[in-house]
Amino acid sequence: AAPGTDAASGAPAAAGPTADGAALYAEHCARCHGANGNGEGTAELDRPARSFLDGGYSYGNTLRAVERSVRHGIPGTPMPAFGETLDADGIRAVSNFVVALGPPGTIVEEGASVLGPEARVEIVHGMLPPLSEGERVAPRGVALGFPNGTTFAYDKAEGELLAVLTGDFVDRGGAALKLLGNVSYRPDDAARAAGAARRDDVALERRVHTVAASGADGARLDFDLRTADGERVGGGSEYLGFARVADVPVPVRFLSVTGSGASFAPLGGSALALVEAGGG
């Protein structure tokens, strides 16, 4: 269908849906995807339902793609088709409601899926595919693109830096985010161990809950620190920026923690520096 027309009928699209998207979501979607969209509904499924709070959709990050998933379902998954249950107005209303549950900036306009930061750091949430063969998918990924061509890729669920890339930023028009740069740094096992938070020599889980930009050359990830059984024992922030080494800007991470008694060890390496910070 052409822009401005309904994807099913080809008729001119209405300015906005008149159906109650929240009510339709509660009736048709909440039992699988959860009342607040966190993917933790009451239905028993053979695979977890998508969390809409994380952003990223099976057929791409456009409103048309979300409507397609609602209308036709997703083959091979428990997601059913609602094309015969909801009319076009209802499909658009529930799709708009689902989109509103996700992080700002997840949905893009048709034909505008490739991003290139210019004046400030760009932050894009969504699924990150494996960066190399044998690595895992990060369903709750986030990519932070800096105007100087540096990208930091994180797994928010694990609070883990996946890689630093240089070059173009990201194409977010597909089912997963497509990072366009070349990997310049990827933490190895020793680096991940050095950057892990610990308390009394016991590893803590770091779960990112907020990602924010600070102009053109800085960003911050705020996280909870939790024990293996989920108890929150503190929190902290990871600051991203650049330091000049031999007049060359080098990406740096600065970690700080509060209220946990946790500590971080310095991380070596020429591509990325981790500056140790004491707990507050």
Q: Residue 135 corresponds to which amino acid?
A: E
- Nearest CA among 89, 88, 76, 96 for reference residue 29: 96
CA–CA separation, 29 and 174 (whole Å): 23
Q: How high is the mean pLDDT in each 10-residue block of the chain (280 residues)?
A: 41 64 96 94 86 79 84 79 93 94 81 80 91 85 90 90 89 86 82 67 83 88 87 85 74 72 39 34
pLDDT at 221: 92
Where do we find the tokens 């499909």? Answer: 91
pLDDT at 88: 94
pLDDT at 248: 63
pLDDT at 149: 85
Reported pTM: 0.62
pLDDT at 280: 32
pLDDT at 216: 79
